[in-house]
Amino acid sequence: MTRSVIEICEGLATGEFSSVEITQDYLARIAQHNPALNCFISVTGELALEQARQADTVRAAGNAGALTGVPIAHKDLFCTDGVRTSCGSRILDNFIAPYDATVIEQFNQGGTVMLGKTNMDEFAMGSSNENSYYGSVANPWNLKHVPGGSSGGSAAAVAAGLAPAATGTDTGGSIRQPAAFCGVTGIKPTYGRVSRYGMVAFASSLDQGGPFARSAEDCALLLQTMAKFDPRDSTSSEQAVPDYSAGLGQGIEGLKIGLPKEYFADGLDSRIAGVIETAIDELRKLGAEIKEISLPNTGLSIPTYYVVAMAECSSNLSRFDGVRFGHRCENPVDLEDLYKRSRGEGFGAEVKRRILIGTYALSAGYYDAYYLKAQQLRRMIKDDFQSAFDSVDLILGPTTPEVAFEIGAKTDDPVSMYLQDIYTISLNLAGLPGMSLPVGFVDGLPVGMQLIGNYFDEAGLLAAAHSYQQVSDWHLQTPGLTS
Residues acting as catalytic residues: 75, 150, 174
296: number of CA atoms within 13 Å, CB side? 5
438, β-bridge pairs: 448
> Distance of alpha carbon 177 from its chain centroid, rounded?
8
The amino acid sitting at 367 is: Y
Put the strands of the sheet holding 166-169 in their side by side order. 40-43, 113-118, 71-75, 166-169, 209-213, 185-188, 434-442, 445-453, 394-398, 256-260, 289-293
CA-to-CA separations, 124 to 12, 43, 77, in angstroms, rounded: 34, 20, 8
CA distances to 32, 70, 198, 260 from 389, in Å? 47, 37, 33, 12
CA-to-CA distance for 423 and 191, rounded, in angstroms? 17
Dist CA 221 CA 345 (whole Å): 41
Burial class of residue 315 in the structure, from the number of CB atoms within 10 Å of its CB (0-12 exposed, 13-18 middle, 19+ buried): middle
CA distance 447 to 46: 36
CA 133: distance to chain centroid? Answer: 19
